[in-house]
Chain A
């Protein structure tokens, strides 16, 4: 456990809690309660929920890390582990810091390592004994760090509004039991963080809403579904309509239809659903419809592993849809960027009338962290419109390839055409018209690159001779690894992946470069090799569905840059 010693050395205030149990035991809610507890102490928080694709049973856990400093990832080395069942105990035995406390359910394990609590028998006297088990998580933590009982009860009541009496009684019972069994309390410093924390998908949803999203279309697919749920619950208030049609094919085609009416539309899915959208994505390229696609990756191929994380869809996103047409692909490296980038993407797509993708992963979509954004900083760009009543041509040739938009009702016909067409939008197979229209669409690609050159397209964190190229949510793991290990390196993260900001990236290429990504085929590294001639000395990869543990990653980075 050497790495976990190092970790303690670098951030004394880091404090991690892992709560594990079966689906249906309220593990996720327990994680939420712990996060809230830390937030109320003014600490920065990162919560990662690990769960399986099932409704009851199996093994779920929440890892909640917090510090008085800004942090970028959960950790798998915990100060307190709460195991609600036997499986959890067996899985998390190794996930302890040297001074960490391991709590287990003594009704399921005899003479385990750590502190046994008869959680099942204690819960028996309550109405919903299984569901109430999760309340043990926050109750144990409160006792361990010497929180007073009243504060615990008020927190429990705010996180678990149903069955207050039972929850309060169970919570107090667990708290007393822990105080009896633990000799001294662990130190937990208060911080000055005033931020709230949000899951990545909610941040993406709020970003798009800030930039004027009108309709969100989606078919449920983990890990993108919570965007749909967000708009379904809050859409009325925000003026965003949520629509759940029969299939991803319907989703994408409806979204294109809505843009024809002038509505700003977004869709969200994961790899399998995005595959079903391939033909519509190409249609959006052809008719020049600015639909924003959110692709939240999970391990593939095919159904893969529904509730875990991976970066195996990069190549897919870059090449989605048949035929030649411009697209913009971008991937946020943290929650704040997810907010602004989704908003920017919506505006960019309407400016250039072409489809685009916000590429992210389960790790960002479903993890929560503290963030500080200012919605008034969201830039919105109004699309180029044809204001006159006459002379309208949907695909008017212009210098930059962007034709003015017009929406019905309109005196003149506005013809969006998925077959090759002339400027009016009437079908053609004439050679000179085919070539001219290809060139018109291609011009936009050139103009988009020029536009991106004036934007912030690459994040650079830290400095040093050693350069780490990474992207997407893996950026979080890399930043946390460096923060906690003290390794000196420069992190280079392209925000835009197509067009790839080669002009920026090339500045950072040297012979001490490594790549960190979550793809067995190292798709990101291959992209950088193709586009900027990067020859990394090492590619650190993880492809078991789990995000990197920052300290394990730090060890690998250290090894790679020796």
Chain B
């Protein structure tokens, strides 16, 4: 299947990997956004390092294949450079909830107008299956042969505490639903976080469990605390938008409607201003 979002790069994800569902949902979302008037020319992506990061090579979109854990910081830089762009950062759970957690929480805290999609498979898959920040206690991997002694973190409650203004959970096995979440996330003016349950067929093949437990949410919760209650549920796994609110976005608070690359002063003006500052006669 080839389309204008394909790069032609060879796909090296394992057959059946949840990443395929995410890639399909992203492509669907981009088409939908284009129908809604957001040209993909204005869409820029960043990725971290891990299995999720390969999506950079598979999407014919501008952006940066960044460092492990730094995709959120990269995305913020792109947004600040040209606030007219819509920026989506793709991260993994090891990458976004481990190595780069501070960037994620601060992007939420400052309500940076970007969308973060976390391919949360509960393992460091590309490095042969070590326990990740979201792996359950007792998780066995090459670095925890007797089972992980650490408890997992629950990402959505973290993001809600940090001040994220759009918090959602999707499932790689529900492509249409996930694509709608992505459309909503990108359209959301402010920081949008989408945690995606993503089975890894080799290390964390949770398809059966997820298929049984996921339950679509009708409406976002009205308060952060209710959204948090929902996020920690384990008897069912709610998917959908947990919480959404509108709040001032960082770049507008910082720069107003100024756009660093569009409203750049001409050389003569800069020189004049500096001359003035230096007191050059």
Residue positions of A touching B, CB distance < 8 A:
196, 198, 206, 209-210, 212, 214-215, 217, 234, 237-239, 241, 243, 245-247, 249-250, 253-263, 265, 279-280, 283, 287, 373-376, 378, 380, 407-411, 413-419, 421, 424-427
Pick 19 A–B contacts, CB within 8 A, sort by A. Answer: A196-B279, A206-B274, A209-B273, A239-B263, A239-B264, A243-B254, A250-B106, A257-B75, A257-B77, A258-B80, A260-B63, A261-B82, A262-B261, A373-B280, A380-B267, A409-B84, A414-B63, A419-B65, A427-B54
In the complex, A196→B258 CA distance in Å?
Answer: 32
Q: In the assembled complex, how far is the CB of residue B18 from the closest CB belonging to chain A, in whole angstroms?
A: 20
In the complex, A373→B265 CA distance in Å?
Answer: 21
Question: Do residues B106 and A215 form an inter-chain contact, with CB atoms below 8 A?
Answer: no
Report which of A247, A262, A376 forms a contact with B102, defined as CB distance below 8 A.
A247
Report which of B73, B74, B81 forms a contact with A262, defined as CB distance below 8 A.
B81
Question: Do residues A212 and B65 form an inter-chain contact, with CB atoms below 8 A?
Answer: no
Report which of A215, A246, A287, A414 forms a contact with B80, defined as CB distance below 8 A.
A215
Question: Do residues A257 and B78 form an inter-chain contact, with CB atoms below 8 A?
Answer: yes
In the complex, A380→B7 CA distance in Å?
Answer: 36
In the complex, A426→B7 CA distance in Å?
Answer: 8
Most chain A beta-carbon neighbours within 10 Å: one of B7, B61, B64, B265: B64
- In the assembled complex, which residues on chain A have CB atoms less than 8 Å from the CB atom of B41? 408-411
Residue positions of B touching A, CB distance < 8 A:
7, 9, 39, 41-42, 44, 46, 49, 54, 56-57, 60-67, 70, 73-82, 84-85, 102-103, 106, 254-255, 258, 260-261, 263-265, 267, 269-271, 273-275, 277-280
Q: In the assembled complex, how far is the CB of residue A393 from the closest CB belonging to chain B, in whole angstroms?
A: 12
In the complex, A426→B253 CA distance in Å?
Answer: 36
Give 4 closest A-B pairs by Cβ, nearest first: A257-B77, A261-B81, A254-B77, A263-B81
Question: Do residues A279 and B258 form an inter-chain contact, with CB atoms below 8 A?
Answer: no
Q: In the assembled complex, how far is the CB of residue B39 from the closest CB belonging to chain A, in whole angstroms?
A: 7
In the complex, A419→B65 CA distance in Å?
Answer: 7
Question: Do residues A408 and B73 form an inter-chain contact, with CB atoms below 8 A?
Answer: no
Question: Do residues A416 and B65 form an inter-chain contact, with CB atoms below 8 A?
Answer: yes
Q: In the assembled complex, how far is the CB of residue B25 from the closest CB belonging to chain A, in whole angstroms?
A: 19
Q: Across the two chains, which residue of chain A brings its CB closest to B66?
A: A418
Question: Do residues A255 and B77 form an inter-chain contact, with CB atoms below 8 A?
Answer: yes
Question: Do residues A417 and B263 form an inter-chain contact, with CB atoms below 8 A?
Answer: no
Question: Do residues A212 and B267 form an inter-chain contact, with CB atoms below 8 A?
Answer: yes
Q: In the assembled complex, how far is the CB of residue A512 from the closest CB belonging to chain B, in whole angstroms?
A: 40
In the complex, A408→B77 CA distance in Å?
Answer: 13
Q: Across the two chains, which residue of chain B brings its CB closest to A207?
A: B274
Report which of A196, A241, A416 forms a contact with B260, defined as CB distance below 8 A.
A241
- In the assembled complex, which residues on chain B have CB atoms less than 8 Å from the CB atom of A414? 62-63
Q: Across the two chains, which residue of chain B brings its CB closest to A289?
A: B64
In the complex, A371→B264 CA distance in Å?
Answer: 28
Assess A206 versus B278: contact at CB under 8 Å? Given A280-B67, A408-B85, A416-B64: yes
Report which of A375, A411, A421, A427 forms a contact with B280, defined as CB distance below 8 A.
A375
Q: In the assembled complex, how far is the CB of residue B113 from the closest CB belonging to chain A, in whole angstroms?
A: 13
In the complex, A198→B274 CA distance in Å?
Answer: 13
Question: Do residues A253 and B67 form an inter-chain contact, with CB atoms below 8 A?
Answer: yes
Assess A409 versus B39: contact at CB under 8 Å? Given A241-B260, A243-B254, A283-B67: yes
Question: Do residues B74 and A254 form an inter-chain contact, with CB atoms below 8 A?
Answer: yes
In the complex, A43→B42 CA distance in Å?
Answer: 56
Report which of A256, A262, A424 forms a contact with B64, defined as CB distance below 8 A.
A256
Q: In the assembled complex, how far is the CB of residue A275 from the closest CB belonging to chain B, in whole angstroms?
A: 16
Assess A253 versus B74: contact at CB under 8 Å? Given A243-B254, A375-B280: yes
**Sample of 18 more A-B contacts, CB < 8 Å, known A243-B80, A253-B73:** A206-B278, A210-B271, A239-B270, A249-B102, A253-B70, A257-B77, A257-B80, A260-B78, A375-B271, A375-B278, A407-B82, A409-B85, A417-B65, A418-B49, A418-B65, A418-B67, A421-B65, A427-B56
- In the assembled complex, which residues on chain B have CB atoms less than 8 Å from the CB atom of A415? 56, 62-65
Q: In the assembled complex, how far is the CB of residue B216 from the closest CB belonging to chain A, in whole angstroms?
A: 33
Q: In the assembled complex, how far is the CB of residue B44 from the closest CB belonging to chain A, in whole angstroms?
A: 5
In the complex, A253→B49 CA distance in Å?
Answer: 14
In the complex, A215→B255 CA distance in Å?
Answer: 11
Q: Across the two chains, which residue of chain A brings its CB closest to B273?
A: A238
Question: Do residues A257 and B260 form an inter-chain contact, with CB atoms below 8 A?
Answer: no
- In the assembled complex, which residues on chain B have CB atoms less than 8 Å from the CB atom of A373? 278, 280
Assess A378 versus B271: contact at CB under 8 Å? Given A250-B103, A416-B63, A418-B65: yes
- In the assembled complex, which residues on chain A have CB atoms less than 8 Å from the CB atom of B63? 260, 413-416
- In the assembled complex, which residues on chain B have CB atoms less than 8 Å from the CB atom of A214? 81, 260-261, 264
